[in-house]
Amino acid sequence: MASRSHVDVNERRLRPIYDSLDNGNNKKAIQEAEKVLKKQKDFQCAKVLKALALLRLNRHEESSVILQEVHAQHPTEDSTLQAMSICYREVHKLDLIADLYQNAFSGKPDNEDILSALFMAHVRLGDYKKQQQTAMQLHKLKPQKNPYYFWAVMSIVMQAHTSPDKKLSEKMYLPLAERMTEKYIKDDNIEAEAEVMLYLIILELLGKWQEAVNLLEGPLGGKFVSEFNLKDIKLAELYSKLENWSKANIIYKRLLQYSPDHWQYWLDYLKSALALIESSDQIENQNGKDENEETADDSVEKILELIEELSTKGCSPDHYNRGPFLARIKLISLLEKKDPEKSQVVGSTLQLLIEHFERFGDRSCCFGDFTLFLDQLTDSQKLQFFNSIKESIPLNGKPKEYALDVKLLQRHLIVLQVERYLGYLDPLPIPDKLTLIHDLIDRYRQGLQLSQDLLITDLQHSDNYLLLAVHLLVDLWRETSKDEYIWQAQVQLEQCIKKSPSNFQAKLILIRLYCTMGVFGPCPSLYDSIEIKHIMNDSLGHIVFNHVARLGHFVAACAMYGTMLRFFTVNHKETTEYLISSYKYGSFSKIYEFVKFRERLQNSLQFASATAERLLLDLIFETNSHSVTEQMIIYMEISPEDDKTNFDELRDNRDYKVMLNWDNPSKFNIEELQEKSFEEEKCWLRVRNYLLRILAAAVLIGQEAGTEAKMNGVTEIEKEPMTQTLQELSAKLENHIDDCVMYKEQYQLPYVLQAPFRTRLCYYLINEHHRVLIEMVEAVLYTHKLQQNNLELNNVEEERIKSAIPKLVAALVNTVEISDNGSTNLSSSVIENLVLCAETFSFTIILAGVCNRFLKPLKIAQTKKLKKKKSPLTELPPTFENFNELLKCLEKGVACLHLACKQINPGYLELDMSKLNLSQPLTDHADDAIYESEMWKKVEKSYEQAAQEISELLHNKLQYLHTLKL
C-alpha cells in the first residue's frame, strides 16, 4: 500500500510537467520540472521530462547532458523509460532506445513490458537477429502468449528476406521458421488467423505450393476470414503454379461468378482454360467424372458459354459488363497464334471493337480499353475501325454539328483520341492541323454550355477537346520550333482552368509549358492549387523541382526544397512506428512491405537531389564572405571522403503516368524515356555531389591551415590528408564529365510533353563549367603548398592563376549571349545559362576564398620581412599580384552578368511583352485577347523576379570578392 501511494505522489508531482509539455509550453515545463527536482533531486522521470522540454526548445546540448546522466543510471521505471524513448526518437537515436531497454531488462529480467519494449526497439533498428532473441525471451517469460512466439518466427522470416546469402535463407532461416510454426500446428496451439497467414507466407517463400494448398484446404484454412475471398484467390494462384489447370480454372470461374468484371480473374481464367485445351488435345478427356462435381472449362465453346452468361450478370436491362466483352477479344488474340481457325469462331477483333464502342463509347475509360487491342489490327483494319466509329456518331454533317449531350460528346472525344492514338494526325500539313485546332477549341467552347448542374469541383465535360488542341499545338511547336504555338497553348489553358478550376490535367500541362519557356513565376500558385503534399513531394515534386532554380527563382527554390526534404526526414522517423503496429496486430504480410517502402523513400532520387541542390543553393545564395562559407560548411556536415548517395540503390519514384496521353507508345514510350532520364539525373547528381565535396574539402583545408599554424607541426598521420582527397575528387569529376558526353545534345531531343524534362547537364557540358572549377582546385592546392613550404614558386602554377583561369572565366561570361534587342533575350536558355554562370562564379569565389586563406598570412609575413630588411631590391612574390588580378577578372565577370540580368528584365527595359507580337491570337474570340495580355503580364513578372534574384545573388558575390583582396 505504501508503495502505491508513493507512486501516486510521484504521478501527482509530474502532472504539471506533462500538462505543460502537452500544451507545447516547454519553458513552463522546465520550470515545473525544476520545482519538483528541488524537492526530490534524484527524481529520474522529472529530469528526463526536463530534458525533453529542453530538446523541444532546441537546447540539445543541455538536454543530452541530462539524458546521458540518467541513461548511465540504468533506469527501470516505466514512465522514465517512456519519456527517454520519446527524447531519443525525436533526435532519431534509435540505438540508444535499444540500449536503454537492454539495461532496464538486466535490472528487471522478469518484466514483460520492458522486454516487449526492447523487442520494439530492435524493430525500429531493423535488427532482426536481436528481435528474434528478444521475442524468444518473451516467449519463455509468457509461454501461453502466442504472439511472442510468432514475433520470433516473423523475425526469422525477415532474416531470410534480408540475408545477402540466398542459400542461407533457403536452407536455414525459412526451414527454421517452417519447423517452428509446424510445431505449433502439431501441438494444436494455433489461435489466430495471423499465425496461419504467417505459415502460408513461409510456405510460399519456400515454393512449397502443394503444402500451401494442403494448408488452405485443411482445417486451418477456415481461419482465413478477414481478407475477402483470400482462400479462393490464393488457391487459384497456387493451382496455377502447380499447373493443376482444371482446379485453377474451376476456382477462377467461381470468382468470376461473383465479380464478372474482374479483369485479372479473366486473364487467369483464360490462361488456365487454354492450358486445358492444349493438354486435352493430347490426353483425351479424363474419364469418370462425377455428375455433380464442378467441371473445368476445357473448350472454346465452354469459355464462350461463360462469357455469354456473365456478360449481363448483375446488370440492369440494356447494360453490359465490360469484363466478359473484353475477355472475348482477349481470347481471340490468345487463340490467334495457336489455333487461328478457332479464333475466327470466337469472332473478329475488328468487329468486336466496333461493338465495344457502341456499348461503352460514352464512358471515358473506353479509350483505355482500346489501347489494349488496337495494335493487334492490321493497318487497313485500323482505318476501317476508325472510319466505322467516326461515322457512327452524327457529327459529320455540314453545316458543323456540335455534340450537345454529354454522352455524344464523350463518344466524339473517344473518336478523336483514337485518331490521335493511331497516328492519323501526324502526317497532316500545318494549315490542316491549325484548322483542326480551331475546330477543337470551338467544340470546347460550345461544350461549356453543358455545364448547368456541375459543381465547382467537377470538370467541364468538354475539357478534353481543349487538351487535344493543346497537344496539337505542342506537336506544331516540335515541328516548327515556333514559340508562338506554346504561348497560344498557355492562353487557352489559362482560360480552361478558369472554367474548370479543378482540372489538374490542364494545370500540369500549364506548369510544364511555362517552365519550358523559362517562366517559373506562375508555377508555385498552380502547384499549390493542385495541393501537392506528403508523398506527392516524391512522386510529383519533379514538375517544379527541375526548373525552379534553373530559372533563377531561388527564394521559391529554398522553400520547395525545404518542403520536400522535410517530407523525407519526418517520414523516415515516423514510419518505423507502423512496423511496430504490424507486429502488434499480426499483419505479418505488411512488415516486409513496410521495410521495402521505407527503403524506397530513403533511396529516392528526389530526396538525394533535393539534398544536394539545397546545400548548393545555400552555398550560392547565402554567402557573402568566406567566414560565412566556412561556418556553413561545418554546419552542413559534408564528408568529402564519401558520397552520401548510394547510387546503386537509388530509386526513381517519379510518376510520369499521371498526365493524359493519347499517343501510341511506339511514337513516344514514356517508360523508356523515364528510364533514360533516370540515368541522366544520376549523372547530374554525381556532378552536384562532386561539387559539394570539392567545396567542402577545399574549405576544410583552408580552415585547417589556420589552425595548423597554431598547433605548430602536430600532424595527423592516421587520416589521409584532405589535400589528397581534394586532388582525387577533382580528378573524379573530370573523369565523370568525360563519361557524360552523351548528354551534351540532350536539349535537342524531341520534346515530349508527358516525359521527363532534361537536366541542366547539357548546358553545363557545352559551356564547360567544370573546367574553371578544376583549375581553381589546382590553384587551391598550389597556394596551400606555397604556405606550407614557404613560397616555393612554380611558374606553371603562377601562369594558371595569372591567365588560364581568367581566360576560362571570360569564356563563361561569353556564354550568356546578350543582344541589344531586348526581346531576343527573353528566352529560357538565356536565363538558364545566366544562372549556371552565377553558380559557377559562386563556387569559384569560394575556392578563391580558400586561396586567400593561405595567401593572406603569407603576405602579411612577407610584408613584415620586407619592412625589416628595408631592402628596396626585394619584391613581393608575383602570386599576390596574380591573385588580385584574378579577383579583378572575377569582378569584371560578375559585372557583365549583372548587366545581362538587366537585359532580361522587362521592367528595366520598359518592355510591354504583349505588344511585342510574340504570338498571334489563336482565335478571334474576345476572351483570347484578354487572357493573352494577362499571360504576358505573368511572363514579364516572372522574368523580372528571376532578374532581381540573380542580381541580388551577384551583388552578394561582389561583396564576397571585395573581402578577398590581398
Partner 1 sequence: MTTIRPFTCDDLFRFNNVNLDPLTETYGLPFYMQYLAHWPEYFQIAESPNGQIMGYIMGKAEGSGEMWHGHVTALTVAPEFRRLGLAAKLMQNLETISEKKQCYFVDLFVRVSNKVAVEMYKKLDYSVYRRVLEYYSGEVDEDAFDMRKALPRDKDKKSIIPLTHPVRPEELD
Name the segment binding partner 1 (CB under 8 A); options: 167-175, 219-227, 305-313, 509-517.
Answer: 219-227
Q: Single out the residue of 571, 759, 844, 852 in contact with partner 1 (rule: CB under 8 A).
A: 571
User: Of the two residues 298 and 362, which places its CB atom closer to partner 1 in the complex?
Assistant: 362
CA dihedral angle for residue 43, residue 45, residue 47, residue 50, rounded to 10 degrees = -140
Of 932-961, binders to partner 1 (CB under 8 A) are none
Sign for the CA dihedral angle at 886, 892, 893, 898 comes to: positive
Dump the DSSP string for 298-335.
-SHHHHHHHHHHHHSTTPPTT---HHHHHHHHHHHHHH
* Closest CB 542 distance from partner 1, rounded Å: 12
Write down the least CB distance from residue 155 to partner 1, Å: 17
Report CA-CA distances (Å) from 892 to 764, 805, 841, 902, 961. 21, 13, 11, 16, 11
Q: What are phi and psi of 651, to 5 degrees?
A: -120, 140
Listed ranges 38-46, 361-369, 488-496, 811-819: which one lies at the site for partner 1 (CB under 8 A): 361-369
Total Cβ atoms within 10 A of residue 287:
5
The reply on whether position 593 binds partner 1 by CB under 8 A is: yes
Among 69, 227, 358, 792, binds partner 1 (CB under 8 A): 227
CB of 160 to partner 1, least distance (A): 20
Binding of partner 1 by 449 (CB under 8 A): no
Based on the shown chain and the rule CB under 8 A, indicate whether residue 363 belongs to the binding site for partner 1. yes
**Of 261 and 778, CB closest to partner 1:** 261
184 binds partner 1 (CB under 8 A): no
Q: Segment contacting partner 1 (CB under 8 A): 258-266, 439-447, 634-642, 675-683? A: 258-266
DSSP assignment string, 897-920:
HHHHHHHT-HHHHT--GGGTTSS-
Q: Which of residues 458-487 bind partner 1 (CB under 8 A)?
A: 459
Give least dist CB 541 to partner 1, A. Answer: 11
d(CA 589, CA 201): 7
Taking the complex as a whole, the smallest distance from the CB of residue 497 to partner 1 amounts, in Å, to 12
Identify which range of 468-476, 488-496, 552-560, 573-581 contacts partner 1 by CB under 8 A: 573-581
Residue 134: name the closest of 107, 113, 161 by CA. Answer: 113
For position 321 contacting partner 1 by CB under 8 A, the verdict is yes
Applying the rule CB under 8 A, the residues between 502 and 561 that interact with partner 1 are 502, 504, 530-531, 533-536, 538-540
Whose cell is 602579411? That residue is 860
**Toward partner 1, which CB reaches closer, 651 or 925?**
651
At its nearest, how many Å lie between partner 1 and the CB of residue 254? Answer: 15
Helices 576-585 and 588-602: crossing angle in degrees, nearest 10, is: 170
Are the C-beta atoms of 791 and 858 separated by less than 8 Å?
yes
Find the shortest distance in angstroms from Cβ 91 to partner 1: 19
Cβ-contact 660, 467 below 8 angstroms = yes
- All three cell numbers of 761: 547537364
Cα separation, 660 vs 374, whole angstroms: 18
Note whether 582 binds partner 1 by CB under 8 A: yes
In the complex, minimum distance from the CB of residue 198 to partner 1, in angstroms, rounded to a whole number: 14
Q: Which three cell numbers, joined as nine digits, stand for 136?
A: 524468444
Q: Mark 38-77 with x for binding to partner 1 (rule: CB under 8 A) and - for no binding.
A: ----------------------------------------
Non-local (6+) Cβ contacts of 827 within 8 A are 518
Run of H or E including 147: helix 146-162
Q: The cell 509530474 sits on which residue? A: 14
Contact by Cβ (8 Å): 324, 260: yes
Instruction: Please give the distance of CA 837 from its chain centroid, rounded to a whole number.
Output: 28
Q: 279 to 318, contacts with partner 1 by CB under 8 A?
A: none
Residue 369 engages partner 1 in binding (rule: CB under 8 A)? yes
Q: Exposed, middle or buried: residue 219 (CB in 10 Å: 0-12, 13-18, 19+)?
A: exposed
Q: Which is nearer to partner 1, 175 or 347 (CB)?
A: 347
457 binds partner 1 (CB under 8 A): yes
Q: Is 208 in the site for partner 1 (CB under 8 A)?
A: no
Q: Is 333 in the site for partner 1 (CB under 8 A)?
A: no
**Cα separation of 960 and 966, whole Å?**
13
111 phi and psi, to 5 degrees?
Answer: -95, 110
| Region near partner 1 per CB under 8 A, out of 53-61, 157-165, 208-216, 596-604 | 596-604
Q: Per CB under 8 A, does 195 bind partner 1?
A: no
- Count residues near partner 1 (CB under 8 A): 57
Toward partner 1, which CB reaches closer, 460 or 879? 460
Neighbours of 263 (CB within 10 A): 14
DSSP codes of every residue in 824-863: GG-SHHHHHHHHHHHHHHHHHHHHHHHHHHHHHHHHHHHH
Please identify, using beta-carbon distances, which residue of 365 and 555 lies nearer to partner 1: 365
* 563 touches partner 1 (CB under 8 A): no
Task: For residues 844 and 849, give the distance between their C-alpha atoms in angstroms, rounded to a whole number.
Answer: 8
Applying CB under 8 A, the span of 280-288, 363-371, 478-486, 554-562 interacting with partner 1 comes to 363-371
Among 452-460, 689-697, 747-755, 915-923, which window interacts with partner 1 (CB under 8 A)?
452-460
When the beta carbons of 263 and 880 are compared against partner 1, the nearer one is 263
Among 182, 574, 672, 716, indicate the residue that binds partner 1 (CB under 8 A).
574
Question: Residue 451 interacts with partner 1 (CB under 8 A)?
Answer: no
CB of 257 to partner 1, least distance (A): 14
Q: Is 371 in the site for partner 1 (CB under 8 A)?
A: yes
DSSP 604: B
Instruction: State the nearest-atom distance from the C-beta of 583 to partner 1, in Å.
Output: 9
Considering beta carbons, is residue 455 or 714 the nearer one to partner 1?
Answer: 455
561 and 546 in contact (C-beta within 8 Å)?
no
> Binding to partner 1 by residue 368, rule CB under 8 A?
yes
The phi, psi pair for 916, rounded to 5°, reads: -85, -5
Tell me which of 38, 482, 596, 869 binds partner 1, using CB under 8 A: 596
Residues 122-181 that bind partner 1 (CB under 8 A): none
Cell numbers 512466439 correspond to 149
CA distance to 813, 846, 893, 923, 954, per residue, from 840 (Å): 11, 10, 11, 45, 11
Q: Which of 590, 676, 736, 892 binds partner 1 (CB under 8 A)?
A: 590
d(CA 110, CA 138): 9
Phi, psi of 604 (to 5 degrees): -65, 135
Residue 708 class from Cβ within 10 Å (0-12 exposed, 13-18 middle, 19+ buried)? middle
Residue 436 CB, shortest distance to partner 1, in Å, is: 23
Nearer residue to partner 1 within complex by CB, 421 or 936? 421
Residue 41 or 319: the one with the smaller Cβ distance to partner 1 is 319
Q: Please, are residues 836 and 763 in contact by the beta-carbon 8 Å criterion?
A: yes
Comparing CB distances to partner 1, the nearer of 407 and 482 is: 407
How far is residue 905's CA from residue 939's CA, in Å, rounded to a whole number?
11
Choose which of 161, 262, 271, 856 interacts with partner 1 (CB under 8 A). Answer: 262
Residue of 90, 217, 577, 716 that binds partner 1 (CB under 8 A): 577
CB atoms near residue 825 (< 10 Å): 24
User: Residue numbers of the site for partner 1 (CB under 8 A)?
Assistant: 225-228, 230, 259, 261-264, 266, 321-323, 325-326, 363-365, 368-369, 371-372, 455, 457, 459, 502, 504, 530-531, 533-536, 538-540, 571, 574-575, 577-578, 581-582, 585, 587, 589-590, 593-594, 596-597, 600, 653, 655, 657-658
